[in-house]
Amino acid sequence: MNGAVVEIEGLRKRYGAVLALDRVDLEVRQGEIFGLLGPNGAGKTTLISIVAGLSRATEGSARVLGKDVVRDYRFTRRAVGLVPQEINFDPFFSVEEALRFQAGYFGVKLTGDRLEEILSALDLTEKRHTNARALSGGMKRRLLIGKALVHDPQVLFLDEPTAGVDVELRQQLWRYVRRLRERGTTVVLTTHYLEEAEELADRVAVIERGRLVLLEDKGTLMARNAGQRLQDIYVALLQRERAGREAE
Amino acid sequence: MGLGLRTLLVKEVRRFLRVPGQTLASPLVTTTLYFVVFGWSLGSRLADVEGVPYARFIAPGLVALGVVSNAYLNSASSLFVMKLQGTIIDILVAPLSHTEVLTGFVAAAVVRGLLVGGVTWLVAGAFTGIGIAHPLWALVMLVLAAVAFAALGVVTAIWAATFEQVNFFPTFVVTPLTFLGGVFYSVRMLPPGLQRLTMANPVFYLVDGVRYGFLGISDASPLWGLGILAVLAAGSLSLAYALLASGYRLRS
């Protein structure tokens, strides 16, 4: 069994009266693709934001490679890459400049070879001198992935990477995610496209209303529910959860 | 200086150099107009102030105004736009300390402020002569002023939710205090009541101290200017640091 790259213990996050995460415990293992599923607003983005340093937990702890994300933030942030859900870009700079600046923030001087590798892998070589403002939506999303990879992170968080993208780009991203895993990068994928998790994930977790309601090896889960698709299992699980809550 | 901080500084400087018309040429045009009006058109009709031709007397105040407003605008607009566009994530996920983030934004803003101040003084020099009485004093005063207002820009950018809020401070605080802080007149030319009011304006000591550096004349002790600016710079840096460290309106 591979060791834990990310360890979440008793994680709670409260925004005023809203409990976004309620005592979540989970581990992400070295080299796996971990599918973090749940409806919109379930707490997926909050969870990865805490690990990446964008948000602070109300209670509990998050560790990356054994180091606390608050106390040892310099170490943990070097180990983490985050592709945010919302597309953003700096209209002042080109694709290459954006990648070089992002590497610099992480204390990494981007070599020519590494730059070429990232540009090529994301099919952005011809756009390297193009201003980010002039890229298509799909290219902007690929640039975000490139920026998350410039410092060669050990764990990559992809927050809804295929939301609103066409089928061709989605399959291109899936291929790239598999290649990353083959190179040893651990990938945490949040999505509410169940076919995406079914296609890619080694293990899946489901969060609903801030609570972890399922954490299981995908193969075991599918075998236990033979003949069903992940989507059917997921919907049935959420219905049971909601019925249970109403009964309480 | 670590690579992370150096990168942030270079990126911020390149950002304002990408729009030189807005960041450098615009203050150049404004300053030139001041000197055309007060130097050529009206200059011969205006009496010397403290033994200095009027156009030369106003130059240090205009340099100070250019430095503080551009230092403020650089950090405030850059950080606020990053917040608005979501690119602030690039900084927040990076292993940069709060001190490095603050230093990067403030240092780039100081560079822009001093560039505009330098250009202003060169324009003034074309009309009134370029000599500086106490260059080191002038430089220290302008750097301290730029640091103080750049840090206030960081504070405003973190706090602000709209562009209107970003522009509130320069429009309704900095410019009035600067214009009423002795840029265009010596405090000795005012009646006693207005003299007292002017001397309660902290920006007066900034303008007066910068004028001492450039021209060797001042209404108050230039040490007052230095002390007040040092306190203002320390206070605004501390406030900006505290906001960054708290994550207020940056980290949820």
Tens-place pLDDT, residues A27-83: 999 999 999 999 988 999 999 999 999 999 999 999 999 999 999 999 999 999 999
Name every chain B residue with its beta carbon within 8 A of the beta carbon of A106.
4, 94-95
B90–chain A nearest CA distance, Å: 7
| Distance in angstroms (rounded) separating the CA atoms of residues B7 and A106 | 9
What average pLDDT does the structure give for chain B?
92
Which chain A residue lies closest to B250 (C-alpha atoms)?
Answer: A54
Domain residue spans in chain B?
A: 57-246
pLDDT at B28: 85
Which ipTM was obtained for this model? 0.92
pLDDT at B188: 86
Residue among A43, B165, A14 nearest A26 (CA)? A43
A127–chain B nearest CA distance, Å: 19
Q: How large is the average pLDDT for residues A218-224?
A: 93
Statement: residue B41 has pLDDT above 80? no
Backbone angles phi, psi at A15, to 5 degrees: -110, 95
Residue among A192, A115, A180 nearest A154 (CA)? A180
CA distances from A136 to A22, A131, A192, B69, B252 (A): 38, 11, 23, 37, 30
Beta bridge partners of A148: none
Sequence-distant (6+) residues with CB within 8 A of B104 are B5, B8, B9, B12, B96
Statement: residue B245 has pLDDT above 90? yes
Statement: residue A246 has pLDDT above 80? no
| Distance in angstroms (rounded) separating the CA atoms of residues B165 and B87 | 20
User: Following CA atoms B150, B155, B159, B164 in sequence, which dihedral angle do they give, to the nearest 10 degrees?
Assistant: -30
Size of the A and B interface in Cβ pairs below 8 Å = 79
| Distance in angstroms (rounded) separating the CA atoms of residues A174 and A162 | 9
pLDDT at B238: 98
Nearest to A53 among B10, B14, B92 (CB): B92
B251 interfacial to chain A (CB closer than 8 Å): yes
Q: How remote is the C-alpha of B25 from its chain's centroid?
A: 16
Q: Which of A69, A92, A140 to mutate: most B Cβ within 10 Å? A: A92
The full set of domains in chain A, from first to last, is 4-247 (3.40.50.300)
CB atoms within 10 A of CB A180: 20
| Distance in angstroms (rounded) separating the CA atoms of residues B77 and A172 | 37
Inter-residue contact B178 to B61 (CB < 8 Å):
yes
> Which of A88-92, B42-46, B48-52, B118-122 has the lowest average pLDDT?
B42-46
- Three-state SS annotation for A126-164: HHCCCEHHHCCHHHHHHHHHHHHHCCCCCEEEEECCCCC
Inter-residue contact B109 to B72 (CB < 8 Å):
yes
Is A105 in contact with B90 (Cβ distance < 8 A)? Answer: yes
Beta bridge partners of A13: A21
| Distance in angstroms (rounded) separating the CA atoms of residues B215 and B55 | 12
B30 interfacial to chain A (CB closer than 8 Å): no
B46-70 pLDDT, tens digit each? 778 888 888 889 999 999 999 999 9
Statement: residue A1 has pLDDT above 60? no
For B136, the token pair is 């080191």
A89-132 pLDDT, tens digit each? 999 999 999 999 999 999 999 999 999 999 998 889 999 999 99
Percent of residues, chain B, with pLDDT higher than 90 = 67
Antiparallel, parallel or unpaired: β A33-37 and A203-208:
parallel
A47–chain B nearest CA distance, Å: 12
Helices assigned H by DSSP within chain A? 44-52, 73-79, 95-105, 112-121, 137-149, 167-182, 194-200, 218-224, 230-247
Q: How large is the average pLDDT for residues B20-45?
A: 82
Give the type of residue at B193: G
Angle between helices B98-128 and B26-35 (to 10 degrees): 30
Residue among B249, B68, B62, B66 nearest B165 (CA)? B249
A243–chain B nearest CA distance, Å: 32
Is A53 in contact with B251 (Cβ distance < 8 A)? Answer: yes
A195-219 pLDDT, tens digit each? 889 999 999 999 999 999 999 999 9
pLDDT at B61: 93
